[in-house]
Amino acid sequence: MAESGESKLKLYSYWRSSCSQRVRIALNLKGLDYEYIPVNLLKGEQKNPDFLKLNPLGYVPALVDGEIVIADSFAILMYLEEKYPQHPLLPSDLQKKALNHQASNVVCSNIQPLQNLAVLNFIKEKVGPDEVIPWVQSHINKGFAALEKLLKDCAGKYATGDEVSMADLFIEPQILGAIKRFNIDMNIRFNENILSSLFYRGCMKHIVSCQHSRMLCQKISQMPHLHLSLAEPVHPEDQIFPSENINIKNNQ
Amino acid sequence: MNSSSKLVLYNFSHSSCSWRVRFALKLKGLDYEYKAVNLVKGEQFSREFEQLNPLHYVPVLVDGDVVVSDSLAILLYLEEKYPQRALLPDDHQRKALNLQVASIVCSSIQPLHMVTLAKRIEEKVGPEEGILWALSIIEKGFYALEKLLKDFATRFATGEELYMADMFLAPEIDTVAKRFNIDMLVYGLESCDRDRSAYPILSRVYEAYKTVPEFLAASPEAQPDAVFFTPPA
């Protein structure tokens, strides 16, 4: 473990931002302590002068590691992967590594940007409030269909094999957002559909439990078993699953 | 220099995503076989191409048994497999900066002003709205890039050498300037004072890119399939 005794890492994050979720999962998987600094996007806290001074773009997530400031989930994950190589997020095989980048990019270039707040407000104002959900659903469905094709020959327990890797960190928050915010039904074609089966077989749930409880998940790789019912959600509104016990095997 | 042409690049002359990869291949001195996929004629839906990339996107790089799609994934693959003429600096901050620029262009700007999306907006909202939408995306993204690069850009986006950020910025600026007839030096201003561009950094680096032989050699007009393409009106 490379972490120091002090919480030198700081993460500026919005609880519901899928981009922030990606980074929170990575930090938890790598067993890295960090100070969580919430930035409420709906209240416009990203425009706070102190935050802008640190991060002129006003984007979340933003990671601060000593003198280094990085704002963009992909750039942050690549930085973490290099600086803190424990629990690697990328396989060493170049083909599989490339596949992870490609799957991640399907989410962060082809799906997520079409559902960010600015785009949704545009559709709501110019086309109508009733058009927002259908607009997002069509892009999500198209993106998910693309992922199904991409992952067809390599999905195992997780998206690109039997270990959690970078693609999962992009896909899982996207699936959660799709279900909770945009009414996508992951039950359709359960048996043939990779993303649905990944989700409902519980493979993603230990990742979800990580992001909902920093305290429990700070050193997830050292915990032999984790019961979902013990995980306190960060926000009461964000109770996603009915309580059930999930056994998580020790990652090491 | 790679003496055997084992690399094959499936791409389209006027695809800015393809341009990124062509630029990188030329900078690294890597020979490759150029396979044209005409997106206007729908060649990305051919059976042969579908075998390579079921998502029907260009560019696709074939390196022996390895097949990589998506320009960012390809560039990272090339960087690792062919480390000559590195596209990422060693220091963490500037490396992260380059990846951040790449990510901003390929997630927040380019996909949101693609022709297909602009057309969809026109269908839903009305004619002209597609262009207005695209311009607002570009303006927002370019202002963000100006802020991000303020303390780092010199000759090029993140310093004196070309790096990954430039692979993404160069084709993006050129494509946008030509497609929307934007004069990069004065866009956004009422006055024609060329020293006060709305995008001073992007304008300056764009002028620098135009002097780079590899950038020009990778540009759409220099590709073998360019003659078959007429840009949309």
Same domain? B192 vs B173: yes
Burial of B207 (0-12, 13-18, 19+ CB in 10 A): exposed
> A150-159 contacts: CB < 8 A, separation 24 or more?
A150/A99, A150/A102, A150/A103, A150/A106, A150/B54, A150/B55, A151/A103, A151/A194, A152/A194, A152/B54, A154/A96, A154/A99, A155/A194, A155/A198, A157/A203, A158/A198, A158/A203, A159/A103, A159/A194, A159/A198
Please name the residue of chain A whose CA is at the shortest distance from the CA of residue B149: A56
CA distance B159 to chain A (A): 17
Q: Please list every residue in chain A whose beta carbon sits closer than 8 Å to the beta carbon of residue B110.
A: 109
| Best residue in B45, B91, B108 for a mutation probing chain A (most A CBs within 10 Å) | B108
What is the rounded distance in angstroms from the CA atom of residue A23 to the CA atom of residue A38? 14
Q: Where are the alpha helices (DSSP H) in A130-247?
A: 132-151, 166-182, 194-200, 205-212, 214-217
| CA A208 centroid distance within chain | 9
Please name the residue of chain B whose CA is at the shortest distance from the CA of residue A116: B108
Q: Which domain holds residue B17?
A: 9-81
Q: Please list every residue in chain B whose beta carbon sits closer than 8 Å to the beta carbon of residue A89.
A: none
Is position B31 within any domain? yes
Q: E strands, chain A, where?
A: 9-13, 35-38, 62-65, 68-70
Please name the residue of chain A whose CA is at the shortest distance from the CA of residue B141: A57
ipTM here? 0.90
Is position B71 within any domain? yes
Same domain? B76 vs B124: no
Q: Residue B59 is part of a domain; what is its CATH number? A: 3.40.30.10
Same domain? B77 vs B108: no
CA distance A204 to chain B (A): 24
Is A42 an interface residue toward B (CB < 8 Å)?
Answer: no
Same domain? B107 vs B129: yes
**Tens of pLDDT along chain B (233 residues)?**
444 458 999 999 999 999 999 999 999 999 999 999 999 899 999 999 998 998 899 999 999 999 999 999 999 999 999 999 999 999 999 999 999 999 999 998 998 888 778 788 888 888 888 888 888 888 889 999 999 999 999 999 999 999 999 999 999 999 988 887 766 654 544 444 545 678 899 999 999 999 999 999 999 999 999 976 666 54
Is A52 an interface residue toward B (CB < 8 Å)?
Answer: no
CB atoms B111 and A146 under 8 Å: no
Same domain? B146 vs B182: yes
CA distance B51 to chain A (A): 11
Same domain? B214 vs B158: yes
pTM of the complete model: 0.85
Q: Please list every residue in chain B whose beta carbon sits closer than 8 Å to the beta carbon of residue A56.
A: 147-148, 150
- Which residues lie across from A36 on neighbouring strands? A11
CA distance B215 to chain A (A): 24
Integer angstrom CA distances of residue B127 from A7, B67, B119, B130: 53, 40, 9, 7
What is the rounded distance in angstroms from the CA atom of residue B131 to the CA atom of residue B14? 19
Is A74 an interface residue toward B (CB < 8 Å)?
Answer: yes
- Write the residue in B74, B104, B140 that is nearest to A72 by C-beta: B104
> Into how many domains does chain B fold?
2
Nearest to A107 by CA among A189, A22, A204, A234: A22
